[in-house]
């Protein structure tokens, strides 16, 4: 395993499969009465979140505590960063506290890569700009592994704002590495003109999800409407939203996934979000197990 997990592209197929296996074992720990193991007792982790995030941050924090790490949450808005301290100085200051792991989320692509080069601590990318969200892709893979018995050969449709989605980017790499077939579905304004290699692009959502084993819906950021990516949320839902009727076009046992938080009625209908095929809440549980597995496996 490398020192850091900044990009899902950096880990091999074997390493990815190992993480998935270990994550499933960690799920066992999460079901026990005493949900804690002393594995990383005495190690310290700093959660450095430059972008606001409740769910990912909480998920990481729980994972870290379950492994008995000492957890520090570095609240950026109240720190010297606002006073004009550079990113590098912030990281160096934190490193001087003697930390083993750094979990970073930042609005600029490439920041975790940059920081990983500058620090001895193990860096975990919790989301950088529109670039990557490796642990999300891993937890999505774990979910598919659990529910479908394996990722290889699955037809996975990722639907929505692909252009700005780090979840989509990481998933494309992870899933193709594990042998799944990926479709990118959405309005032409929200799919890059140069899509990643090996995917099929669909502007027609009905064709895009026909027969799919997994339908992964992405969150539409409402600000994008103001920048001429689509004219209105009403039009978006009509042409690209996941309604109950549309879901029938997918495989009858297709999984409905969403990284959260959902905009009910904009990318996904409310009843679909709660239907029996939806594994959205399962994804959240798997998130903690995956983050435990990732931190456990990095050198630290």
Partner 1 sequence: MDKRTHIINGRLIDPSQGIDGYGDLVIEDGKIAEMSIKGAETPRKKQSASVANTGGERIIDARGMLVIPGLVDMHTHLREPGFEYKETIKTGTMAGIRGGFTSLCPMPNTNPVNDNPTVAAFVIKKAMAEGYCSVFPIGAITKGQQGQELAEMGLMQEIGCVAYSDDGRPVMNSLVMRRALEYTKAFTFPLIAHCEDLSLSDDGVMNEGPISTHLGLKGVPAAAEEVMISRDIMLAKLTGGRLHIAHVSTRGSVELIRRAKSEGIPITAETCPHYFSITERAVLGFDTNAKVNPPLRTDVDLAAIKEGLKDGTIDVIATDHAPHHADEKILEFDLAPSGISGIETALALSLRLVAEGVLTINQLLEKMAFNPSRILGIERGTLKIGAVADVVIIDAEKEFIVNPDNFASKGKNTPFIGWTLKGVSSVVISKGRIYDIAEWKANG
Partner 2 sequence: MNKELLNKQDIERILSRIAHEIIEKNKGPEKLCLVGIQRGGVHIAHRLATRIDTIEHVNVPVGSLDISLYRDDISRRKKLPIVRKTDIPFDISEKVIILVDDVLFTGRSIRAALDALMDFGRPAQIQLAVLIDRGHRELPIRADYVGKNIPTARSENIEVQLEEESAEEKVVLISGE
Residues lying near partner 1 in the complex (CB under 8 A): 86-88, 106-111, 113-114, 128-132, 166, 169, 192-197
Asked whether position 31 contacts partner 2 by CB under 8 A, the answer is no
- The CB-of-195 to partner 1 minimum distance in angstroms stands at 7
- The CB-of-111 to partner 1 minimum distance in angstroms stands at 5
82 binds, among partner 2, partner 1, none (CB under 5 to 8 A by kind): none
Is residue 254 a contact partner of residue 212, using CB atoms and an 8 Å limit? yes
29 binds, among partner 1, partner 2, none (CB under 5 to 8 A by kind): partner 2
Asked whether position 37 contacts partner 2 by CB under 8 A, the answer is yes
**Going residue by residue from 278 to 297, which x/- string records binding to partner 2, judged by CB under 8 A?**
------------------xx
Which range binds partner 2 by CB under 8 A, 16-24, 117-125, 146-154, 181-189?
A: 16-24
CB atoms near residue 277 (< 10 Å): 17
State which residue, 41 or 117, has the beta carbon closest to partner 1.
117
- The CB-of-71 to partner 1 minimum distance in angstroms stands at 25
State which residue, 48 or 67, has the beta carbon closest to partner 1.
48
109 binds, among partner 2, partner 1, none (CB under 5 to 8 A by kind): partner 1
- The CB-of-68 to partner 1 minimum distance in angstroms stands at 33
Supply the DSSP string of the chain, one letter for each residue: --S-BS-GGGS-HHHHHHHHHHHHHHHHHHHSSS----TTTT-EEEEEESS--SHHHHHHHHHHHHTT-EEEEEEGGGSTTTTT--HHHHHHHHHHTT-SEEEEEESSTTHHHHHHHH-SSEEEEEEETTTB-HHHHHHHHHHHHHHHS-STT-EEEEES--TT-HHHHHHHHHHHHTT-EEEEES-GGGS-SSPPTT-EEES-HHHHHTT-SEEEE-PPPTHHHHTTS-S-HHHHHHHH-B-HHHHTTS-TT-EEE--S---BTTTB-HHHHTSTTB-HHHHHHHHHHHHHHHHHHS--
Which range binds partner 2 by CB under 8 A, 32-40, 83-91, 132-140, 156-164?
A: 32-40
- The CB-of-156 to partner 1 minimum distance in angstroms stands at 18
296 binds, among partner 1, partner 2, none (CB under 5 to 8 A by kind): partner 2
């Amino acid at each position: 395993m490398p020192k850091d997990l900044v990009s899902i592209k950096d880990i091999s197929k074997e390493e990815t499969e190992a993480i998935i296996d270990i994550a499933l074992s960690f799920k066992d720990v999460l079901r026990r009465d005493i949900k804690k193991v002393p594995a990383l007792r005495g190690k310290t982790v700093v959660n450095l979140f430059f972008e606001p995030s409740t769910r990912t941050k909480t998920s990481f924090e729980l994972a870290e505590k379950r492994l008995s790490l000492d957890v520090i949450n570095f609240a950026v808005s109240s720190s010297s960063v606002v006073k004009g301290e550079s990113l590098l100085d912030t990281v160096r200051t934190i490193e001087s506290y003697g930390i083993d792991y750094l979990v970073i989320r930042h609005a600029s692509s490439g920041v975790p890569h940059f920081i990983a080069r500058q620090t001895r601590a193990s860096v975990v990318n919790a989301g950088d700009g529109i670039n990557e969200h490796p642990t999300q892709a891993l937890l999505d893979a774990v979910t598919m592994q659990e529910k479908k018995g394996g990722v290889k050969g699955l037809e996975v449709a990722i639907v929505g704002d692909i252009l700005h989605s780090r979840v989509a980017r990481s998933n494309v790499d992870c899933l193709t590495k594990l042998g799944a077939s990926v479709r990118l579905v959405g309005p032409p304004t929200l799919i890059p003109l140069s899509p990643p290699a090996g995917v099929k692009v669909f502007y027609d959502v009905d064709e895009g999800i026909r027969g799919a084993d997994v339908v992964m819906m992405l969150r539409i950021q409402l600000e994008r409407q103001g920048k001429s990516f689509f004219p209105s949320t009403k039009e978006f839902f009509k042409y690209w939203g996941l309604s109950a009727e549309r879901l029938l076009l997918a495989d009858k046992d297709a999984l409905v996934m969403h990284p959260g938080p959902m905009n009910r009625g904009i990318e996904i209908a409310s009843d679909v979000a709660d239907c029996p095929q939806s594994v959205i809440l399962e994804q959240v549980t798997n998130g903690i197990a995956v983050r435990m597995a990732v931190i456990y496996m990095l050198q630290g």
